[in-house]
């Protein structure tokens, strides 16, 4: 089965509980151990079928009120998932068995299709298309890495990006080894980060930081409510804060290196030129809009340098 090529860049959004995946901010999905994710996921494959699904899913449900995603160990787990979860996660191993995929797709829950470690783009997209053919188009694709010489599956960000382009479906990056690849994954267009279920709060926090900071730079959000617009502004401000702190440190370096530093060595021509260069990237604000902003930024840096120089 082949996937219909999509021409538009924007992925269709898929709702998982109250979470929107595909448009809006990059979502962070964490394991049971971690506080602070937008959604939690539980893999019953971890239990190897030794734990009753009702019990495991019920426990996860009781512990977390937000969106809950569950990966079954076998088809016997599907009724428990249908009863208490907000999405079903299909592991790469399942892709071999389209009967199981069909049963999962018919639960009426959104489906997260993980790529198996040797599956090609075509094979991976075909699983999503199979869900759609079963009447369930709420499909999210999760790149979970390829088998290589590395100890852990190696995340294939080119494949993840191609999957999003080709299918028009939202894509997640499965971060098996903590959050090291969170920032590159967001830069490559991930709509969400799925942190390994056993990873703790630190990995989730690092994934969140990448989602916020890199997302602010690379993601074009078109919010349509006050709350979502404020959320988008908060993410841009977070990125601005990181850059302002870095800029202040660099400006401080220049003050120490110049023959005359601080306010006494102020170079208005250099300031005009940097504002003009910035205006090329901020044409709507333009030089007139940027000049007072940059004046405040530069003066804050000079004050800081003088304070620290004392
Ligand atoms: C950093 C410098 O010193 C001052 C501060 C500037 C800034 O923060 O960008 C620019 C020009 C100077 O007024 C510099 O000379 O480059």
* Residue 234 CA to ligand 1 centre (angstroms): 28
Q: Are residues 246 and 202 in the same domain?
A: no
- Overall number of domains in the chain: 2
Is the residue at 4 inside a domain?
no
Same domain for 207 and 248, yes or no, is: no
Answer yes or no: are the C-beta atoms of 101 and 94 closer than 8 Å. yes
The reply to whether 9 falls in a domain is: no
> CA angle, 61 as apex, 210 and 106 as ends, to 5°?
90
Do 140 and 279 lie in a common domain?
no
Q: Is position 294 within any domain?
A: yes
SS3 221: coil
Query: Is the Cβ atom of 267 under 6 angstroms away from ligand 1?
Result: yes
Which residue's CA is the nearest one to ligand 1's atom 14?
Answer: 254
Per-residue pLDDT of the chain (310 residues; tens, 9 = 90+): 444 444 445 668 999 999 999 999 999 999 877 778 999 999 998 777 778 999 999 999 999 999 999 999 999 999 999 999 999 999 888 888 888 899 999 999 999 999 999 999 999 999 999 999 999 999 999 999 999 888 888 999 999 999 999 999 999 999 987 899 999 999 999 999 999 988 888 999 999 999 999 999 999 889 999 999 999 999 999 999 999 999 999 999 999 999 999 999 999 999 999 999 999 999 999 999 999 999 999 999 999 999 998 6
234: tokens are 């908060």
DSSP 188-231: TT-SEEEE-TT--HHHHHHHHHHHHHHHHHH------SHHHHHH
Question: Which atom belonging to ligand 1 lies closest to the Cα atom of 266?
Answer: 13
In terms of domains, do 239 and 185 share one? no
Using CB atoms within 10 Å of the CB of residue 106, give its burial: 0 to 12 exposed, 13 to 18 middle, 19+ buried: middle
Domain's final residue, options 204, 222, 240? 222
Q: Residue 248: what pLDDT?
A: 98
The tokens of 103 are what? 């049963």
Residue 233 and residue 118 share a domain:
no
Residues 47 and 112 in one domain: yes
- Spatial separation of the C-alpha atoms in residues 150 and 117, rounded to whole Å: 12
Closest C-alpha residue for ligand 1 atom 16: 254
Among the candidates 168, 198, 222, a domain finishes at: 222
- Is the minimum distance from the CB of 301 to ligand 1 under 6 angstroms? yes
| pLDDT tens figures, 82-133 | 999 999 999 888 888 888 899 999 999 999 999 999 999 999 999 999 999 9
CA 304 from chain center: how many Å?
A: 35
Q: Are residues 242 and 161 in the same domain?
A: no
Distance 244 CA to ligand 1 centre (A): 14
CA of 307 to the centre of ligand 1 (A): 16
- pLDDT for residue 8: 42
270 in ligand 1 pocket by Cβ < 6 Å? Answer: yes
Cα(282)–Cα(285) distance, integer angstroms = 6
Whether 29 and 121 map to the same domain: the answer is: yes
Question: What CATH number does the domain containing 136 carry?
Answer: 3.20.20.70
CB-CB contact of 86 with 14 (8 Å) = no
Q: Which of 94, 134, 88 is nearest to 110 (CA)?
A: 88
Give 250 Cα–ligand 1 centroid separation in angstroms: 9
Q: 183 with 213, same domain?
A: yes
CA 274 to chain centroid: 32
ipTM value:
0.98
Separation of 308 CA from ligand 1 center, angstroms?
A: 16
DSSP string, 65-132: -S-EEEE-SSGGGHHHHHHH-SEEEE-GGGGG-HHHHHHHHTTSS-EEEEPPTT--HHHHHHHHHHHH
Residue 205 lies in a domain: yes
33 lines ligand 1 (CB under 6 A): no
Q: Could you tell me how many residues make up the chain?
A: 310
Query: pLDDT by residue (tens digit) across 261-296?
Result: 999 999 999 999 999 999 999 999 999 999 999 999
End residue of a domain, out of 193, 222, 251: 222
Q: Can you give the residue range of the structural domain that contains 31? A: 14-222
Same structural domain, 212 and 240: no
Q: Whose CA is nearest to atom 10 of ligand 1?
A: 271
- Return the residue whose CA atom lies nearest to atom 4 of ligand 1: 266
Position 6 in a domain:
no
| In-domain check, residue 7 | no
- The verdict on 168 and 257 lying in the same domain is no
């Amino acid at each position: 089965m082949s996937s219909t090529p999509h021409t538009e860049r924007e992925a269709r959004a898929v709702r998982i509980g109250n979470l929107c995946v595909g448009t809006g901010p990059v979502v962070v999905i964490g394991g049971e151990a971690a506080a602070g994710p937008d959604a939690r996921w539980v893999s019953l494959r971890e239990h190897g079928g030794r734990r009753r699904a009702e019990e495991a899913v019920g426990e996860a449900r009781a512990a977390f009120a937000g969106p809950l995603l569950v990966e079954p160990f076998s088809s016997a787990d599907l009724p428990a998932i249908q009863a208490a979860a907000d999405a079903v996660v299909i592991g790469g191993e399942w892709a071999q068995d389209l009967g199981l995929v069909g049963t999962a797709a018919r639960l009426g829950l959104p489906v997260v299709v993980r790529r198996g470690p040797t599956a090609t783009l075509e094979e991976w997209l075909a699983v999503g298309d199979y869900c759609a053919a079963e009447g369930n188009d709420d499909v999210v694709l999760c790149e979970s890495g390829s088998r290589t010489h590395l100890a852990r599956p190696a995340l294939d960000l080119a494949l993840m990006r191609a999957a999003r382009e080709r299918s028009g479906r939202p894509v997640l990056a499965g971060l098996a080894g903590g959050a090291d690849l969170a920032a590159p994954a967001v830069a490559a267009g991930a709509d969400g980060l799925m942190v390994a279920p056993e990873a703790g709060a630190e990995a989730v926090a690092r994934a969140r930081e990448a989602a916020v900071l890199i997302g602010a730079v690379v993601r074009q959000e078109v919010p349509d409510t006050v709350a979502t617009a404020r959320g988008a502004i908060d993410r841009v401000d977070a990125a601005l804060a990181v850059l302002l702190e870095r800029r202040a440190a660099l400006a401080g370096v220049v003050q120490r290196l110049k023959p005359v530093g601080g306010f006494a060595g102020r170079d208005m021509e250099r300031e005009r030129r940097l504002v003009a260069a910035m205006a090329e990237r901020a044409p709507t604000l333009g030089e007139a809009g940027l000049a007072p902003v940059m004046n405040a930024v530069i003066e804050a840096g000079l004050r800081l340098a003088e304070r620290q120089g004392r």
